[in-house]
Structure 1
């Protein structure tokens, strides 16, 4: 169980996240939604400890994550893998080596610097690439791949960390519709096949409703919606997004959601 207890984060006088309380069960697929600047990315970065909370604490299976330091913190970052919008691959290195970077916490510094990867690590990395139908690209430079392929490499890198949780911060923001589906299907496969908890920031409400089993809506740094996707009616979306509602919910979507006033009356 991942528990977020009264977590806030301030940058100067501005509260990016304010008093967030959430409990996330193992194996969940959580979509974090909300307008730009709502605090979604800051929340995920605090979970990974790339940003420290100003107040509150994060607890995973009884361990206070916010108190971790040194090797214990590095171990947590391996266990709570992060996928970014811009992939964060090393373009001049081949795909297989980029995936193997997810094993850095499992090998000695000397082995990592000299790229002395074990047969077991290489087999694990190739297996991860096969999961996403890109094993044939293992020897190619990462910067020669399309955006969708690079994001699948980044997901494979996260998978070889053998994480309990994967955090995906707008992983499809720069992708076309075809690659968007490929990447979202990959995250769903990880969630269902391996039982790994996925917490994903998403801009598209249609995708959030299609892939996630729970939606957490944020506005001005606070959680203002926390329910099953079917509970996110057109009215609830307009309240959550305000003037930006038109950007995330087109007229066809709004028509499809029209009349949904409760989960019982909504499509799953």
Structure 2
């Protein structure tokens, strides 16, 4: 279980995250929602320790994440895989090598420097690519792929870390509606098939209601809503988003019931 206790992050006098408190059970798919600047990205980055908390602590199954340093911190970052808005792939490297980067934390330094990947790691990376219909692009440069394809490679890289938790920071912000659906289906597949907890920052309420079984709403750095998607009324949504409410409440035409299916992957999923 992930427990966030009084978590705060200040930049000067401004609190990007202010006294956040919540727990997340294993296997949940949690959407973190709110307008731009609400503190969503800072929240996820603190959990991964890419941003340092000013106060409070993060606990995971009895482990004090906020106290980790050195090798233990690197191990935690492998267990809490990040997926970024801009993919964070190395464009000049091939797809398979980009996915194998997810195995670096468990490799001796000499192997990481020479990139002499063990056969079992190569097999694991290829299996992850096959999960998302990307195995045929294994030898292709990452920067030759479409945005949706690159994000699926980034998700495969996160999967080979064999994480307990995936933190997805606006993973579909730069994608068109079709690739948005494909990427969100990929995250749902990881959550349902592998039982991996997913926390995903989302701007669209339509997407959040479709894919998530729980929503955490943030406004001005504070958690102001925490509950099931059905509990998020239009009134609460308008309080969360203010002037952006009309935009985010109808931004993506996806109307499947929450948790209705685990997507299958085939030719239709190839961007």
- Band the TM-score falls in, shorter-chain normalisation: over 0.9
Please report the TM-score for the alignment, with normalisation by the length of structure 1.
0.93
1:117 corresponding residue in structure 2: 117
Q: Which residue number in structure 2 is paired with residue 28 of structure 1? A: 28
Deviating 4+ runs (over 3 angstroms): 250-253
2:181 counterpart residue number: 181
1:178-199 Cα offsets, whole Å, 9 max, x none, are 1000000000000000000000
Q: Measure, in 2, the Cα distance between the counterparts of 1:15 and 1:138.
A: 43
Distance in 1 between residues matched to 2:177 and 2:108, nearest whole Å: 40
Q: Which residue of 2 aligns with 1:193?
A: 193
Q: What displacement does 1:4 show?
A: 0.1
Residue of structure 2 equivalent to 1:134: 134
Indicate if the aligned counterparts of 2:204 and 2:251 stay in contact, CA closer than 8 A. no
Cα offset, 1:211, TM superposition: 0.2
Cα offsets for 1:20-57 (capped at 9, x unmatched): 00100000000000000000000000000001100000
1:169 matched to 2:193: no
Between the aligned partners of 1:252 and 1:194, the Cα distance in structure 2 is: 27
Change (3 A) 1:54 1:193: same
> Residues 232 and 154 of structure 1: is their aligned pair in 2 closer, same or farther, counting only changes over 3 Å?
same
The number of equivalent residue pairs is 256
Secondary structure in structure 1 of the residue aligned to 2:171: coil
Q: Secondary structure at the match of 1:21?
A: strand
- Please say if residues 204 and 252 of structure 2, whose CA atoms lie closer than 8 Å, have aligned partners that are also in contact: no
TM-score, with length taken from structure 2 = 0.92
Give the C-alpha shift of residue 113 in structure 1: 1.7
For 1:88-107, list aligned pairs within 5 A: 88-107=88-107
Is 1:43 matched with 2:34? no
Describe how 1:1-268 pairs up with structure 2 within 5 A.
1-250=1-250
Which consecutive unaligned segments of at least 5 residues does structure 1 have?
A: 257-266
Distance in 1, Cα, partners of 2:121 & 2:196: 20
Q: What is the CA RMSD across the aligned residues, in angstroms?
A: 1.4
Gaps of 5+ in 2: 259-271
Residues 122, 252 of structure 1: alpha-carbon distance in 2 compared, 3 angstrom cutoff: closer
Q: What is the deviation of 1:140?
A: 0.1
Matched position secondary structure for 1:16: strand
Does the aligned pair in 1 maintain the 2:207–2:252 contact within 8 Å? no
Structure 1 residue 252 displacement after superposition? 10
User: Equivalent residue of 2:122, what SS?
Assistant: helix
Residue 250 of structure 1, CA deviation: 3.2
